[in-house]
Structure formats: structure tokens, C-alpha cells
A and B are shown apart, each in its own frame.
Chain A
Amino acid sequence: MTGILRPAATTVSLFTVLLGLAAPAAMTGIAGAVFPSQAGGSLIERDGAIVGSALIGQAFSAPGYFHPRPSAAGEGYDAAAGAASQQGPISARLVEAVRERVGTAGSRPVPADAVTASGSGLDPHVSPDNAARQVARVAAARGLPEARVLTLLQNHTEGRELGLLGDPRVNILQLNLALDALR
């Protein structure tokens, strides 16, 4: 039995030190030195205060801001409680929620991402269609010409990654930061 126990115990112990402590510590060191912003959560500062992460969506409801997708994370965009609605395709609750959102979303048909909850509850993006439908509201609330807001939106519309992967999208937090920086 010692023929099995000794190698098992030493292997598990040594690997715990190597893979569980040394390697993550080394990775953290390298990551912090080479990619300090990403390793620290891609945090965005404005006037010395952290206003969020470039990767994580946040809640917006004021008419002067572009609005993100519906979120099931906590009370909405709770970054420490990411969650999806988990509602099934024929769930009555899902149908009710979508019906309500469509009702307040203007002309039909409504872009799907505008009325469905994201998988993470923290989706930082909306589709370009969804954002374009919000331009008039944002411009009116800010007293800006629509063309100016539209140009800003176009500048913040990201294409497919490497020209191929994923879908075109708009990062809501970064767009709204740019809005605030106008004038």
C-alpha cells in the first residue's frame, strides 16, 4: 500500500504547490507587468474615480444616455451577481416580460437584443440597430443635433473582430462616456 500512497501523496502535494500557488503567482506577476490594465479588470477612471470596467455593462435609465439590454443580474447590472433570466422559450413569464418591453420600445419590429435579457446580465454591448433607435431620444434630452449623436454612435460602433469573428456592436458605457465628454 505504501507503494501507492507515497507517490500519490507527494504528487498531489507537489502539484498543489506548482499548479495551485507558484504558477498562478507567476502568471499574476507577468500579467501585471505586461498587461496591467487588462489584468486589473480594464477599469475606467474619470476625474480620478473609477466609473466602471470597459468590459462590463452598467445600468442606464436617464433619457440622455444610451440604454443597455435588459439584465437579470441582481437588480440589473449587478456585476457581482451576473445572471441570466433562465426563462425557457415558452415560459409565460418570458412572454410577459418581452411584451412589456416591446410596448415601450417604439416602432415594431424591435431588435431582439433590445427586449431580451442577456446571458451574463452584464452585456456591455447592444446591436447597432438597437443603439440607432435611441439616437433621437438621447439627442433631444441633451439638446444636441441628432446628426452629432449619430456620428458619435458611428464612431463607437465596433466591427467584427479581425474582420470576421462575432457581430458588430456598440459598447454602451464607452459611448455614454463619450457623450458626457461632448460640449
Chain B
Amino acid sequence: MTLIGWAQIALVLAAVLAAAIPLGRYIAAVAEGRIRWLRPVEALFFRAGGIDPSAEQGWRTYAIAMLAVNALGFLLLYLILRLQGMLPLNPRGLDGLSPWLAFNTAVSFVSNTNWQAYSGEVAMSYLSQMAGLTVQNFLSASTGVALALAVSRAFARGGIRSLGNFWADFIRITLYVLLPLSVVVGLVFVALGMPQTFADYVTATTLEGGEQLIPLGPAAFQVAIKHLGTNGGGFFGVNALHPFEGPSALATAIQIWSQAVIPFSLCIAFGHLVQDARQGRTLLAVMLGFVVVAAAAIYAAEAAGTPVMASLGVDLAQGNMEGKDVRFGLALAALFTATTTGASCGAVNAMFSSFTPLGGMVPLFLIQLGEVLPGGVGSGLYGMLIFALLAVFIAGLMVGRTPEYLGKKVQAREIKLAMLAVLVLPATILGFTAVSMALPLATASLAHAGPHGLTEMLYAFTSAAGNNGSAFGGLTADTAWLNTTLGMAMLLGRFAYVVPVMAIAGSLAAKVKTPEGNGTLPTHGPLFAGLLAGVILILGGLQFLPSLALGPLAEHFVMLAGKTF
């Protein structure tokens, strides 16, 4: 660890916060329909779709509209991937994907997970990347933000049964937030060295006379939305490690900024929508606190290296360099890892499988905490609000008062639904992992024996159910079993979570706001932030402790004992 490393981390986080505040205000204005600079395009969508943007929808209609768009998006993507071989913009003449892989990939990109059981430069035509995957990068992100706006309105309003109009939210977020940001960030990425071309791959003759096939493609624009939308699916197989996808330390810093800025800014937008900026700032502070602690923990673990390497005669001054590239440095690799797993992005600029055991446990644990730190675009905010409801409920139990959040009484129905949502993650992750570890056809995919092998499987289902999409590495994921079960885990993690959340929003919106009184628990400030952090750790984290003890923690102690597997 070096002072300059900490300065890098501080600088990037400061840039995220500096941008999150104005961007949050802007998103709130978009949500209220006050931003109109693309009015002709917006009007085209509304006219063609027969949409009245001011028509209010209840939670069921809102959720059904969301599901319909995602179902159609899935279908279209599945077809493009299957029929790839017959479609244009396929300079490598690549065939269509197998049904299992196409199912897994389509679910993955529609659910904002972007788990990849394929390698882009080997499996995907330019058309599949653009018209298939890039489109879902945008739409899954807009879906998340739209849902977060609907849930925010449930707290802002009183005595109304509606949550806004899904189509208006969905279309406006895409047009006014994601598209312009992606164009700007995409052009910066090109300037820094990311390809953006339709030309075929190039064969170079190396200095020693060998041949090197250099993949190309329209990468920069897709990589921009991949980070901004916390999608994380790489254009190339090794993701942001590929020199074309992560050409420099500056590019990696901008990627960190991109994957964190919208989730943080949505807290600010929430504060505006509920007309109490302190509420949004409190949520943001809790998220930021976790990210800082996680980044510091990874940085410390990776900078320390492993005793195994030291005993072999390796200089530990550079830290643990297996699975890392020189240009990023450990500090930015640590911050990237903390934000990509905290924010449900899933891009990687270092390979977790080769992290030290404790360094590799941090990203795993961050996903298990529920993808709310700061979480995916939209999904982070609504996930955090569910934890906030549970926090006021627990506080209410302790002092014997009816819990309230932003003037809304939190009652049995909301808490039951919140618990239903919160339990989706552990049930899916631990259930599928347990079954898979008992099946030889699944364990055949493992690259390691011992505790590291368990971590591979645990990480895969954690990443899928948490809609993160990063891979621990090693695991051979393109099998019928894993493609199918991981696909189901992604669906459950996204949609089985969202439906109870929307039901809570519907029920809260209908409640009248009770004015703040002397006995109201303030839901801003350090006391509530601490309570919320505790609830996240206990409710989100505790049930995973046994599996962590068997995986990374066991591996840590095996390493200290000097054993190898």
C-alpha cells in the first residue's frame, strides 16, 4: 500500500460524488418530466406506442408493463443469438449460439446481470454485440431506474394508488440519461484506445515472425453503457482487463466512475423526489462507507501478497500480481473490484480467482449483502429502501412504536413482503450451490479442489442471483446444467425480488403521510445510518457466514499453514 495508491482511490471517489449530486438532481427532473430537450424523439416513441405519458399506473400495471418489455427484449435477444450465423455484420462468420448458451446469455443481459458463459471475440458477431447485447445493456438499466423511481414516488406521495407511468419513465431515462452519457463516455474511451470499428480482425506479423490475430469491433460504445448501466458484460472475454477494453489506468478510473455514479446519484434523486435531501444523503453515506471499507480491505490484502510467493523468492513489493495487469496498479484494481461488486456491475479489471483468499472474499461478500452498496442502477436504491424499511421496523420493535419511514406507517404486509424479497437471495444462492456441489455433473466444472472449488461454485450462484455477473474464474460455466440453473438464479434474483418490492410500493403509496412527531425516529443522520448498516450486515450477511467459513476463510488458514491443493 502506498500513499499515492490511497490518493488514487480518494480522487476517483471524489469525482464520483462531485458528479452524483448534479446528476441526481437532473434524474429527479427527468422523472418529473421537466427535461424535454429530446422532445421530438420522445414524442415519436409515445405516438408509435400509443402511450399517454401522463396516464398514472398502479403497481400492478407498472410491473406488468416492465415485465412485458423485458420478456420481449429476452425473446428478441434470444433470436438474434440463435440466428447469428444468418445475420449481417458477422465478419468472422460465427455460428449461432447453442440453445442453452443463448438462453443463459439472453436472461443474463435482460436481468442486468451480464454473466457471460462465452467469450465475446470468439462467440459474438458485431450485430449480436450491438443490436442484441448493447440494447439490453441500456434497457435493463432503464428498467432498474424506472422501478426505483416508482418506489421513490410511493414515499413521496400520500393517499394515491399510482406510481407514475412506466413507459414515460423507461423511455425518458434511456433518452435523457443513459444515451447521452454513453455517447460522451464512449468517445472518451475511443480517445483512450478502445476500438470502435466495423472492420474485421487484423492479423499482425510479430517482431519475432509469429502471427497474432487482433480482434476488433464496435467496442467503445458498448463498454460505456456496460459500466454506466452497471451491466458489466465485456465486449471481450477478459472484460476490462483486455487492453482494448481497459487500455490505461485513466480508462479504468473512468470505468470505476461510470459504474458508481448513477447508483449514487439515484440516492440524491430520491432525496429530491421525497423533498428531503437528508434522506438521500443518509442512504448514500451508508453505501459509500461500505465501498470505502471494502476497497481498503481488498487493497490491503492484495498489497500484502501471499506467504507462498515470498517463500518461492518472489518480491512482495508489487503485491499479488497473478491475474493482474501492470498498467492499473493495485489501488485502482481494489477500488474497481469494490465498486463492480458493490454496484452490481460485474466488470473486472483483475481476476478474483487469483486474489488472496481474504481479498477474494470481499467481492463475494459485497454481492451477498444484497447488491445495495451502492447496488445496480435503480436496483441498488430500491434494495436499500427495503433494508431501510426493515431497519425502522426493527427500531420500532425495540422502542414499542409503530415504525414509520418518511411518514408512511410500515405494517405487517410491507414487512412480510420485504422479508420475502430479502430471502430470495440466500435461498437461491445457497440452494443452488448446495445442489450443485452434490452433483458430479456440476462439480466437473470446477477448476480447483478444496475450499477454492467451493468458492468458485458459491461465487457463480452469488453473482447470478445478485445480478452481478462477475465471474470468480476457473469454473467451466458453459454446460447445460450451469447455463440453466444460473439462468434461473438470475431470473429469481431480478424478477422474484422486484415483484414484492413493487407490491410494497403500491401499498405504501396508498397510505396517508403522517406528520412527523416527537416520537418519530429520524431516518437521517449517523444514528439511522449505523442502524441501517447493522441491518444490512446482519440480515444480508449473516446467513452466508457458514459458506464463507468453508470457502475463502478455510482457504486463508490452509494458506497460512503452508499447504497447497
| B-binding residues in A (CB < 8 A) | 4-12, 14-16, 18-21, 23-24, 27-28, 30-32, 34-35, 38-43, 49-62, 65, 69, 77-92, 94-95, 98-99, 102, 108-113, 115-127, 129, 160-162, 164-167, 169, 173, 176-177, 180
Contact = CB atoms under 8 A, between A and B. Distances in A.
B326 A125 contact: yes
Best-buried of B139, B221, B319 by chain A (most CB within 10 Å): B221
Contacts of A55: 193, 243-244, 247
A165 to B, nearest CB: 4
Given A40-B195, A119-B351, A16 B135 contact: yes
A163 B316 CA distance: 24
Contact of B324 (A12, A18, A39, A118): A118
B327 interface: yes
B297 to A, nearest CB: 16
Contact of B48 (A14, A54, A85, A92): A14
Interface in B294-321: 305-306, 308-309, 312-321
Contacts of A110: 313-315
A5 B68 contact: yes
Interface string B201-212: 111111110101
A98 B314 CA distance: 9
Contacts of B138: 15, 19
B76 A111 contact: no
Interface stretch (B234-242, B277-285, B478-486, B509-517): B234-242
A83 B234 CA distance: 13
Contact of B318 (A50, A98, A127): A127
A91 to B, nearest CB: 6
B559 interface: yes
B179 A112 contact: no
A59 B195 CA distance: 22
B176 to A, nearest CB: 13
B170 interface: yes
Contacts of B220: 27, 31, 39
Contacts of A41: 195, 197, 202, 214, 216, 244
B318 A56 contact: no
A112 B314 CA distance: 6
A53 to B, nearest CB: 5
A6 B50 contact: yes
B434 interface: no
Interface residues of B, number: 124
Interface in B352-410: 353-357, 360
**4 cross-chain pairs, A with B, having the tightest CB-CB distances, nearest first:** A166-B249, A20-B131, A7-B49, A109-B315
5 contacts: A19-B179, A42-B247, A116-B322, A119-B324, A120-B243
Contacts of A83: 237-238
Contacts of A21: 130-131
B244 A65 contact: no
Best-buried of B170, B203, B237 by chain A (most CB within 10 Å): B237
A98 B195 contact: no
B313 A109 contact: yes
Contact of A43 (B214, B327, B350, B354): B214
A166 B248 contact: yes
Contact of A51 (B44, B135, B207, B320): B207
Given A16-B135, A52-B214, A24 B130 contact: yes
A88 B360 CA distance: 10
A20 B202 CA distance: 24
B321 A24 contact: no
Given A91-B448, A110-B313, A161-B248, A122 B243 contact: yes
Interface stretch (B184-192, B411-419, B425-433): B184-192
A19 B450 CA distance: 45
Interface stretch (B4-12, B22-30, B259-267, B525-533): B4-12
Best-buried of A19, A52, A123 by chain B (most CB within 10 Å): A19
A177 B41 CA distance: 50
Contacts of B49: 6-7, 10-11
A106 to B, nearest CB: 10
Nearest to B329: A167
A143 B191 CA distance: 39
Contact of A10 (B45, B199, B237): B45
Contacts of A98: 309, 312, 314, 322
Nearest to A4: B68
B350 A119 contact: yes
A5 B182 CA distance: 28
A35 B243 CA distance: 17
Contacts of B121: 80-82
Interface string B238-276: 100111100111101100000000000000000000000
B187 A27 contact: yes
Given A12-B72, A84-B238, A167 B207 contact: no
Contacts of B221: 23-24, 27
Nearest to B356: A89
B37 interface: no
B18 interface: no
A21 B137 CA distance: 14
Contact of A8 (B69, B199, B212): B69
B321 A112 contact: yes
B447 interface: yes
Given A7-B167, A87-B353, 14 more contacts: A4-B68, A23-B221, A39-B197, A42-B193, A78-B212, A81-B121, A85-B322, A87-B354, A89-B306, A116-B323, A119-B350, A120-B243, A123-B325, A166-B248
Given A125-B327, A165-B332, A169-B327, A88 B248 contact: no
Given A109-B315, A117-B322, A59 B238 contact: no
Contact of B135 (A4, A9, A20, A160): A20
A113 B312 contact: no
Contact of A123 (B186, B317, B326): B326
Best-buried of A56, A126, A127 by chain B (most CB within 10 Å): A56
A56 B243 CA distance: 6
A43 B202 contact: yes
B327 A82 contact: no
A176 B247 CA distance: 20
A95 B138 CA distance: 43
Contact of A122 (B11, B170, B242, B306): B242
A30 B183 CA distance: 10
B135 A166 contact: no
Contacts of A39: 190, 195-197, 220
A109 B313 CA distance: 5
